[in-house]
């Protein structure tokens, strides 16, 4: 039987199970619900009321998922509480880790003046502090989550009250689902990009035999507008956290994407359009790199920082279009 409420119920059960169990449990539930409806209705077509009664008798999706997952055994956290515990841990731990790492990053760079002599020691100390601080924060967050859920189970706090069928999530197209690791990787990428720009922008540049390595950016300018980088990271991190929670392409995610990408585009424009951002010597080297057989092809190129801005704006526009199209196609 292909019924939307039944499909949503089965999805709400299986999304709480390991991937290897989902297909088997989905088939078993379809057969079970079909048999229960046949026993209840006989030859008659089941009504919406009949379907609701059968699904209610089976119990909430979380309760059924607990039975199939074998997590009913008594422990510090078990049953439905363990399902919610896993959901919260997957979201909170990466946020705690990345948040503290970013805070330590900002603290490390305050007043730091990069130079050849102290770069190695600075990198070593900063990485050590970031890792130890971020791991410590993740462990503390984990401990507090354990304590909270242990108390919730001890007090038998209910997560669902009333008609759980009215709160069932829509069944997303598999192509609309966002893998949990994707937003997490992006959050760490934001932190890494901030590290590079704030402390090691001199590593971005070009090399020629005659001049050696020429940094592309004016480090003094970047240190003046550090707050633009911080705001960009905060916006990007908040957006990825929302993607982590939403876990699928939806109209709400499309709106969030447009807001985040427009904000990022404005920040990028403010950051890259100031001519002071570029090392004056680099643009000459950059254009010379594209001279072929004496022909100065590079002189037709715009400045390097404007090329980077164009690439960033194009990527943001592409992301808005792709997300909006997927949301329109899959969020029915």
Q: Which two tokens stand for residue 76?
A: 């510090």
Residues 250 and 324 sit within 8 Å (Cβ to Cβ) = no
- Give the DSSP letter of residue 268: H
> Tokens standing for 91?
């979201």
**What is the spatial distance between Cα 60 and Cα 13, in angstroms, rounded to a whole number?**
8
Average pLDDT estimate for 132-159:
80
The arithmetic mean of pLDDT across residues 186-212, rounded, is 77
Q: Which of 154-158, 291-295, 301-305, 325-329 has the lowest mean pLDDT?
A: 291-295
Q: Report the chain's C-alpha Rg in angstroms.
A: 27
Please write the tens of the pLDDT for every residue from 298-324. 455 677 788 889 999 999 999 999 999
Q: How far is CA 97 from CA 11, 122, 126, 136, 143, in A?
A: 31, 21, 15, 8, 14
> Who has greater pLDDT, 19 or 123?
19
What dihedral angle (degrees, nearest 10) is formed by the CA atoms of 324, 326, 331, 332?
A: 100
The pLDDT tens digits for 263-305 are: 999 999 999 998 888 887 776 666 666 554 444 544 556 777 8
* Per-residue pLDDT tens over the stretch 35-90: 888 888 877 888 888 888 888 888 778 777 777 776 555 555 666 777 778 778 87
Query: pTM to 2 decimals?
Result: 0.63
Average pLDDT, the chain: 78
Q: What are phi and psi of 214, to 5 degrees?
A: -120, 115
145 pLDDT more than 50: yes
Angle at alpha carbon of residue 80, lines to 78 and 84, rounded to 5°: 100
> Bigger pLDDT: 10 or 282?
10
Alpha carbon distance 26, 12 (integer Å): 10
Backbone angles phi, psi at 177, to 5 degrees: -80, 145
pLDDT band for position 116 (50/70/90)? very low
High-pLDDT (> 90) share of the chain, %: 13
What's the pLDDT tens digit per position in 211-250? Answer: 677 788 888 888 888 889 889 988 998 898 888 888 888 8
pLDDT of residue 70: 66
- Segment 197-213 shows an average pLDDT of 73
């Amino acid at each position: 039987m292909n019924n939307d409420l039944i499909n949503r119920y089965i999805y709400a059960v299986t999304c709480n199970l390991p991937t290897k169990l989902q297909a088997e449990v989905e088939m078993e539930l379809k057969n079970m619900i079909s048999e229960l409806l046949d026993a209840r209705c006989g030859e008659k077509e089941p009504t919406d009321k009949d379907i609701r009664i059968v699904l209610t008798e089976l119990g909430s999706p979380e309760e059924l998922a607990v039975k199939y997952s074998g997590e009913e055994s008594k422990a510090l956290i078990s049953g439905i509480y363990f399902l919610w515990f896993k959901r919260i841990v997957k979201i909170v731990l990466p946020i705690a880790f990345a948040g503290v790492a970013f805070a330590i990053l900002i603290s490390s760079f305050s007043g730091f003046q990069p130079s050849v002599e102290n770069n190695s020691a600075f990198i070593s100390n900063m990485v050590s502090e970031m890792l130890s601080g971020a791991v410590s924060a993740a462990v503390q967050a984990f401990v507090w989550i354990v304590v909270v859920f242990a108390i919730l189970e001890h007090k038998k706090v209910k997560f669902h009250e009333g008609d759980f069928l009215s709160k069932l999530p829509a069944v997303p197209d598999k192509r609309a689902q966002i893998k949990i690791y994707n937003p997490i990787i992006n959050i760490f990428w934001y932190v890494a990009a901030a590290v590079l720009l704030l402390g090691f922008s001199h590593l971005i540049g070009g090399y020629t035999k005659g001049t050696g390595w020429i940094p592309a950016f004016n480090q003094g300018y970047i240190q003046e507008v550090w707050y633009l980088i911080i705001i960009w990271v905060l916006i990007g991190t908040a957006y990825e956290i929302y993607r982590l929670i939403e876990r699928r392409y939806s109209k709400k995610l499309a709106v969030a994407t447009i807001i985040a990408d427009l904000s990022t585009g404005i920040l990028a424009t403010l950051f890259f359009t100031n001519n002071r951002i570029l090392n004056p010597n680099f643009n000459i080297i950059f254009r010379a790199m594209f001279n072929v057989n004496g022909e100065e092809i590079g002189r037709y190129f715009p400045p390097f920082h404007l090329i980077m801005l164009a690439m960033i704006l194009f990527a943001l526009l592409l992301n808005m279009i792709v997300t909006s199209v997927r949301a329109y196609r899959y969020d029915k």
